Structure 1
Amino acid sequence: MTDTAVLVIDMMNAYRHPDADLLIPNVAEIVEPVSGLIDAALGRDDVDLIYVNDNYGDFTAQPSDIVRAALDGARPDLVEPVVPRPDCRFLTKVRHSVFYATALEYLLSRLEAKRLIFVGQVTEQCVLYSALDAYVRHFEVIVPRDGVAHIDAELGAAALKMMERNMGADIVTTADCLPK
């Protein structure tokens, strides 16, 4: 059991949606830091790695279907470096928060997680709502600023500020978010 979990949010994305053109350049900036954090988490026994991804309305989709659709999407170069290994935990979600209608809270209780590190997309949407839901559940929230991508720069910055001020989130870098 560990007390830290890295949550990779919505990185399996086909980038075929109305705001994809605004999101893509920002995702391109976080792929390397997120990939590095994933590798670091996989190399440690004291950190759990959990992917939580939107099912895009397909309630028959298995994790492998979601990954394949992302790899077959418009920007596989943004997906390939962060594809989950077959033995990784992978939950699907239906709305913005990683907690809404998922088994995540139960899984985290079984893992005895206390600290949650959020990376992925979109800062001002899924990351923000997930961080709020973690905060109200009394988890410690960590968000590496170089590990989250926004659609709107101003809203993304405001979301980070809200997480820090209103939720007590630690806003750090991917290099500084894992326990020493």
Structure 2
Amino acid sequence: MTQTALLVIDAQNIYAAADSPLCVPGIGASLANINALIRAFGAAGRPVVYIRHVHRADGRDAGRMFDFGGVAEPVSFVEGSVEAEYIPGLLQVPGGLHVIKRRYSSFEGTELEAILRSLGADGVVICGYMTNFCCDSTARAAHDRDYFVDFIADATGAPDLSENFLQKNIIEAVSTTLNAGFARVKSTSDYLAEMG
């Protein structure tokens, strides 16, 4: 019998706050889709794993996260800060599992794989933020670990990268690449219809 777990990645305030440099345009739509997936998984008794990106304030656990180009930037996602907490509108299901990560991939340095193995999961469904960083990295890492991966494109989001490369372009680019060899890319409505 197969088991699929929903990975809710980084549904955190830093992406919802209007004054945040990482604010996701129109986040209400993607959050509604995330909540629809959570609700369906909860109702079906399937596992929901909530994942948050968190760092110590002094940055000792950040590695190259904030100096990837050789110039240090301020550490964000600081533990205990409002920006690192879940978005208030995020649906929480009883029995939901929680994982803290410190890198883009939800597998890197976390207990996620041990949790999935203990659940007997051979598949993951990915939603959350940001499409092109943590969701993409986690989808690729899951594929490399031989999980079946469903990437729910309209249940992800990202800040615009420039006035010529908007969130819709980011989602399309990531989805096209993942669909070519890493994951099945679906819409929330299509995935929920398949769940029955």
Same fold (TM over 0.5): yes
- Taking structure 1 as the reference length, what is the TM-score of the superposition? 0.80
Q: Note the C-alpha offset of 1:87.
A: 3.5
Q: Note the C-alpha offset of 1:85.
A: 4.4
Range moving further from structure 2, 127-136 or 151-160: 151-160
CA 1:166–1:71 in 2, change beyond 3 Å: closer, same or farther? closer
Q: Note the C-alpha offset of 1:20.
A: 2.2
* SS, match of residue 144 in structure 1: strand
CA 1:163–1:67 in 2, change beyond 3 Å: closer, same or farther? farther
Contact in 2 for aligned 1:6/1:116 (Cα 8 Å): yes
* SS, match of residue 116 in structure 1: strand
Matching of residue 31 in structure 1 with residue 44 in structure 2: no
Q: Which structure has greater helix proportion?
A: 1
Matching of residue 69 in structure 1 with residue 82 in structure 2: yes
Which of 73, 90, 94 in structure 1 is aligned with 2:102? 94
Letter matched to residue 39 of structure 1: R
CA 1:26–1:166 in 2, change beyond 3 Å: closer, same or farther? farther
Which of 130, 136, 139 in structure 2 is aligned with 1:128? 136
Tell me which residue corresponds to 1:3.
3
CA distance in 1, matches of 2:138, 2:80: 21
Contact in 2 for aligned 1:118/1:141 (Cα 8 Å): yes
Tell me which residue corresponds to 2:191.
177
CA 1:67–1:166 in 2, change beyond 3 Å: closer, same or farther? farther
Unaligned runs of 5+ in 1: 60-64
Which of 122, 126, 140 in structure 1 is aligned with 2:148? 140
Contact in 1 for aligned 2:52/2:84 (Cα 8 Å): no
CA 1:28–1:56 in 2, change beyond 3 Å: closer, same or farther? farther
CA distance in 1, matches of 2:79, 2:149: 27
Which of 174, 177, 182 in structure 2 is aligned with 1:162? 177
Letter matched to residue 104 of structure 2: H
* SS, match of residue 89 in structure 2: helix
Cα displacement string for residues 20-55 of structure 1 (whole angstroms, at most 9, x for unaligned residues): 24x2x242221111111111111112x210001101
Contact in 2 for aligned 1:117/1:177 (Cα 8 Å): no
CA 1:68–1:40 in 2, change beyond 3 Å: closer, same or farther? farther
Contact in 1 for aligned 2:37/2:188 (Cα 8 Å): yes
* SS, match of residue 127 in structure 1: helix
Give aligned-pair identity as a percent.
Answer: 24
Contact in 1 for aligned 2:7/2:49 (Cα 8 Å): yes
Contact in 2 for aligned 1:50/1:88 (Cα 8 Å): yes
Larger Rg belongs to: 2
* SS, match of residue 170 in structure 2: helix
* SS, match of residue 14 in structure 2: coil
Number of residues paired by the alignment?
166
- Taking structure 2 as the reference length, what is the TM-score of the superposition? 0.74
Matching of residue 118 in structure 1 with residue 123 in structure 2: no
The CA RMSD over aligned residues, in Å, is: 2.8
